[in-house]
Structure 1
Amino acid sequence: MKTLTARSYQDERDLDAIANLINLCNTVDELEQGTSSNELHQSFTNPSFNPQQDTRIWEDETGQIIGYCNIYISEASNDPKDDADFNFYVRPTAQGGTLERDIFAWVEARAEEVRRERQKTINLVATARSDRAERIALLKRQGFQPWRYFFRMARSLAEPIPEPQFPQGFILRNPNPKIDAPAWVEMFNQTFIDHWNHHDLTLEQLNHELKNPNYNSQLDFVAISPENTFTAFCYCHINPEENTRSGRNEGWIGALGVRRGFRKQGLGRAMLLVGLHALKTAEVETAKLGVDADNPNGALQLYKSVGFHQLQTNIVYRKNLT
């Protein structure tokens, strides 16, 4: 094994090399995922992420990146526990050695810094696809236990899509990012406050997402009640770079929700159908989404009812730092 040097992310000059490593690992593991320097830049400029503190790079004597890890620690809240989600990648020729051990040691050390600062429990959180036996075994050896299950689902847009039906008096429109952002954030947080692992969205975070080059206001929808309350939303997105990498023509139902107090009226189904029609109008062939297998409001059943089928299962693993 070559001697490796660990360092933090420096600047945008690192992005291409990090993206190349991630794409290599995803190709070898057949994960059908990937990234680009543009996509990484969008993530690294998130106001809740500090790339100098929350990334680590391991490189050999030639400067080639052999390993990479990032950790996203939820912002401090009234919850007695915060989450530290991390992703890590090791060049296939270096897997199974000591680098994975070094990566986990860095993750725990960084999370411990935050735990001492906030004086609360930190959950270390990592995700593995259910068919990735080696990664699952690695997480278990490091003391992680399965915590939650998520499904990735897909639906062909060549199949007929029912027309959405809204309750009387509700208005559907595209939100105006400059005017509606505060009301949208309030709606989003009130919608997901009773969901697993919710952390409030901030106006700063939303504004960052709205600057994403792939954001399309024509794929962003909100339903407004007769009393002028933001009640439900469906945000869709298409990533041209992702489609180029995969050779497929796909779009995503990125966020879908109905505010508490307005559920059980058909708003969720109506908003989902609106999103599917919008993706089809954008000439997308397949719609995808992710869903919590234990969603308390029947989301899984809703998606199945409009033709979505399960593609894969992702398992969220957790380890507590107290």
Structure 2
Amino acid sequence: MMANLSARCYAGESDLTAIADLINTCEEVDRLDQGTSISELQQEFNQPSRDLARDICLWEDAGGKLIGFAELWISEPGTVIDGWLSFSVRPEARCGDVEVAAVAWGERRMREVASLRGAQVKLRSGVRTQDADRISVLTNCGFRVDRYFCRMARSLTEPIAEPQFPEGFALRLFPGEQDSEAWVEMFNQSFIDHWNHHDLTVEKFKYDLAKPSYRKDLDLIAVAADGTFAAFCYCEINVEECDRTGRNEGWIAVLGTRRGFRKLGLGRAMLLAGLQRLKAAGVETAILGVDTANPSGALRLYESAGFHNIRDSISYIKDV
């Protein structure tokens, strides 16, 4: 199969239609909720700090039909730089050759990153537990299991308890872009103790604020008496995804409490406030993802708030 294929770099927005078609063709077979649209791909590709010419690779047959697609998400510079690899291969071409080529491409790119930045690098890839073929590919390519995650859901037709905030804390909507640095500091201080944390940048945060899907009414913070941003819950409704799947879902996209303000009940209060906001927006089901070994006890919190596990996934890692 590989003898009939050629690899090339991303050529720009002229490739978006073919990439979306490939991903959606795979989704029709795999049913992994990984469908997409041209506008969603544009938002994904146009995020700051992405080198699209180097971090995307396409494989085409002799007739120019797109057979395989791979991309890398490379973390911000640090002691260790992670490259998150995802790839899609047309079902009829899944003999292993294109998948192995995608992994090899990812390894080469991360070695290049290591050389340019003088840092240790890791190659990572996530997979649903039911995707036995992808697990086999990663295992045969030398990846090992690093972490387990689950996706959880909660019906918003069930009663939602009233959030109880500790004395001295007030629930507020995030004021806006002018407070980006304070929000980013809160985010990084909230997740600094978590697995595989990489600092969020103000540039990336401002990009997310400018997305068409951003809703200020779903962006909540808890403010301490001295004005410190202490905890947050940002919810998200992906209208295109809901239209594609036929499900009326909203996400608890990020939830956190910064160092120095934990064990006060802020996490639960922010979660319940987020659920109330999603329900008020007309959403029927709330979704979130969680690290099953989260050190802050997030899994227990979500279960106590009525969430149940609907899907498991695995994070694989390979030293490069």
* TM class by smaller structure: over 0.9
Contact 1:66/1:94 (<8 A) preserved: yes
Unaligned runs of 5+ in 2: none
Shift of 1:19: 1.2
Shift of 1:301: 0.3
Give SS of 1:161's match. Answer: coil
**Offset from partner CA, 1:183-242 (integer Å, 9 cap, x none):** 001100111111111111111000011111100000000010011100000000000110
2:144 aligned with 1:145, yes or no?
A: yes
Letter in 2 for 1:119: G
Give SS of 2:262's match. Answer: coil
After TM superposition, the structure 1 = structure 2 runs for residues 126-275 of structure 1, keeping only pairs within 5 Å, are 126-275=125-274
Give 2:119's aligned residue: 120
Letter in 2 for 1:62: G
CA distance in 2, matches of 1:8, 1:126: 20
Runs of 4+ in 1 over 4 A off after TM superposition: none
Percent identity over the alignment?
A: 54
How many residues matched?
319
CA distance in 1, matches of 2:240, 2:31: 18
Letter in 1 for 2:163: P
Give 1:47's aligned residue: 48
CA distance in 2, matches of 1:134, 1:222: 42
**Offset from partner CA, 1:111-148 (integer Å, 9 cap, x none):** 11011122232111001111111111110000000000
Shift of 1:97: 4.1
Shift of 1:89: 0.4
CA distance in 2, matches of 1:185, 1:165: 25
CA distance in 2, matches of 1:306, 1:14: 43
Give SS of 1:10's match. Answer: coil
2:301 aligned with 1:302, yes or no?
A: yes
CA distance in 2, matches of 1:33, 1:107: 20
Contact 2:177/2:209 (<8 A) preserved: no
Give SS of 1:83's match. Answer: strand
**Offset from partner CA, 1:268-304 (integer Å, 9 cap, x none):** 0000001000000010000000000000001000000
Letter in 2 for 1:44: F
Unaligned runs of 5+ in 1: none
Shift of 1:94: 0.3
After TM superposition, the structure 1 = structure 2 runs for residues 2-41 of structure 1, keeping only pairs within 5 Å, are 3-41=4-42
Letter in 1 for 2:168: G
Give SS of 2:111's match. Answer: helix
CA distance in 2, matches of 1:101, 1:158: 45
Q: Point out the more displaced range, 295-304 or 92-101.
A: 92-101
Contact 1:121/1:320 (<8 A) preserved: no
TM-score by length of 2: 0.98
Shift of 1:8: 0.9
Letter in 2 for 1:100: E
Give SS of 2:4's match. Answer: coil
After TM superposition, the structure 1 = structure 2 runs for residues 55-66 of structure 1, keeping only pairs within 5 Å, are 55-66=56-67
CA distance in 2, matches of 1:106, 1:9: 14
CA distance in 2, matches of 1:104, 1:199: 23
CA distance in 1, matches of 2:99, 2:256: 38
Contact 2:190/2:256 (<8 A) preserved: yes
